[in-house]
Chain A
Amino acid sequence: MTASLGDRRRERIDALAARAGALPEGDGGVSLVKSAFRRLRRNPVFLIGAVIVVVFLLVALFAPWLAPRDPYAQSLLSEVRQGSIPGSREGYPLGVDQLGRDLFSRLIYGSRQSLLIGVVSTVLGAVAGMMLGVLAGAFGGLVDTLVMRFVDIILSVPGLLMAISISVLLGQNQVSLMIAIAVTQIPLFARLLRGSMLVQRDRDYAVAAQALGVRRRNVVLGHVLPNSLSPVIVQATLSLATAIIEAAALSFLGLGDPDISRPEWGAMLASAQSVLSVRAELAIYPALCIIVVALGFTLVGESLREALDPKFRR
């Protein structure tokens, strides 16, 4: 690989890939995943993160059953005045927002949007990035150079600018929001997978399989790719956190979901700025939700990375 544009970010990704790939084989028959899992169970950081993530997933899945009220119903609108918003009361544990809607129910429903945007954009970004990575890693040579140049070009535009350009281009809707976030994730996954595949490709099992006459496509898809996935999974967990925060930022910039009635944490946070002096809770609660969930995914991701990294195994 020729060192192209001096972007050390890539090298860090590549280094991570190399490390994750260069695992000692065997380990007495205990698979990598199993031994990692054993260590994770005893890691409090992982456990805290996992609890947050699981609770978040449950809330998002069961929102209709958990939310006490219709998140769209402006039930207390007639009691809202400019400069005073009803606080918590019977049936409205956290009070209502500036349009008289139950804040608690909106926060619960908001988890669905965050989950949706986070998962879809990460999966999109990961899949697209991995396809590029596989192309580059499996074929090498000219394909590798071309693909990586393309990735370098994407990398040369800072993430938020890229997301803004794409949102502006595709218009304001949820799909374009997700695509915008996904595109910023592509380079990360592409380089990660490519690096990790380069390492795997030269490993004994891959060389052996090829020597035995297994077709290259099968070697790549059947052996090299699955073994290269673990750093991708780690990165996907971390990317989920980034995606949720980035979605909030785009909402703040007015590039979020055009259906402003739909509960979404980033949009709730952005719209509450105007009533900060009237009821700061309207901004603080959604902000806390974003922070806690992003933290949860980050903790899980970081501890997974540590568990899978032989350097930390000592």
Chain B
Amino acid sequence: MLRFIVRRLLQLIPILLGLSILLFAWLRALPGGPAVAALGERATPAKIAEYNRVFGLDEPLWTQYLRFLGRALRLDFGTSQTTGRAVTDEFFTRFPGTVELTVFAMVFAIGIGIPLGYLAARKHGSWIDSTSVIGSLLGVTIPVFFLAYLFRLLFAVQLGWLPGSGRQDVRMEATHVTNFYVLDGLLTREWDAAWDALQHLILPGIALGTIPLAIIVRITRASVLDVVNEDYVRTAQAKGLANDTVRRRHILRNALLPVSTTIGLQTGLLLSGAVLTETVFAFGGVGSTLREAISTRDYALLQGFILILAVVYVLVNLLVDVSYGLLDPRVRVK
């Protein structure tokens, strides 16, 4: 198992190197190049020349690339042009919010998706089946920002049931230790703060969770259907094993393998920027910050965020892979 993990980790290296080359190229290709990206578009030619000299942008490309890589390894992506803070600081202030939101969305998607998908497959052809198939198709075709708007308009503005923006009521005098607001509330025993933060997760979390939900329903249904028809299941049934045992041991366990992959992939995707949903709900996470960086052309921030997020995405994928290896021994030996 350890060897498997080490092998996977080693395989990350070329990907990350490639990615850094890609981002380096992206930065070079931006209008005005890295100097403008770092100084902003109001930079005068003299300033740009000075920047280029100081940061060695007149040196050969490969020296520049190595320097870029060195800074990236130290998580140094310069300062944001809009806030004047280090991009890395900016990222780690925002990331906990996105993590909380992702966790909520995935819990929602998994908690509903797997039972629903399983049920649909077991009652293949019934109304439950057709409803969940149609529902899951709709789930992936509705533009997520439109759904988010509808949710907000209906549940936050019209009905006033739930908060529709931000991460916590600003009137709440909450102590923030980790920047995970729900966790902070629990740690400091400010129960009302935790509860308030949790409420703020509900609407964006559900909106964000619809796509993973739709996909999980579909995959669960398809893979349960696949597994039900496998020989070993029929054998088990023929042997006269109790239905419950067959379901648990043979069907669910095998059917959940591909589902767990999907869950991992979707988690990675959500973590890497729920740009649309966070924007609609003015949720102070990584996604809404990216959106602002786009509109203000804050290249330093965009560059840093994209690189860190890509790394996060790759790491989550690795995690999925490793857990897959744990679940399915066949993968390890392949």
Contact = CB atoms under 8 A, between A and B. Distances in A.
B317 A7 contact: yes
Given A169-B26, A169-B29, A153 B18 contact: yes
A102 to B, nearest CB: 22
Interface in A249-284: 249, 252-255, 266, 269, 273, 276, 283
A149 B276 contact: no
A160 interface: yes
B309 interface: yes
A57 B132 CA distance: 28
Nearest to B23: A165
A276 B310 CA distance: 35
Specify the main secondary structure of chain B where it touches its partner.
Answer: helix
Interface in B304-334: 306, 309-310, 313-314, 317-318, 320-322, 324, 331, 334
A283 B30 contact: no
A291 B138 contact: yes
Contact of B318 (A5, A241, A283): A5
Interface residues of B, number: 56
Interface in B243-293: 258, 261-262, 264-265, 268-269, 272-273, 275-276, 279, 290-291
Given A165-B26, A273-B149, A291 B14 contact: no
B142 interface: yes
B149 A156 contact: no
A298 interface: yes
Contacts of B265: 7-9
B112 interface: no
A158 B143 contact: no
A249 B141 CA distance: 12
Contacts of A152: 15, 18
Given A8-B265, A168-B294, A287-B146, A161 B309 contact: yes
A245 interface: yes
Contacts of A8: 258, 261-262, 264-265, 320-321, 324
20 contacts: A6-B320, A6-B321, A8-B264, A8-B321, A149-B18, A153-B15, A153-B18, A156-B317, A157-B19, A157-B306, A157-B310, A157-B313, A160-B276, A161-B272, A245-B141, A245-B143, A253-B294, A276-B153, A287-B146, A295-B138
Given A165-B302, A168-B294, 12 more contacts: A4-B11, A7-B317, A156-B314, A157-B19, A158-B268, A159-B269, A160-B273, A165-B26, A254-B295, A290-B146, A291-B141, A295-B141
Interface of B: 8, 11-12, 14-15, 18-19, 22, 26, 29-31, 137-138, 140-146, 149, 153, 226, 258, 261-262, 264-265, 268-269, 272-273, 275-276, 279, 290-291, 294-295, 297, 299, 302, 306, 309-310, 313-314, 317-318, 320-322, 324, 331, 334
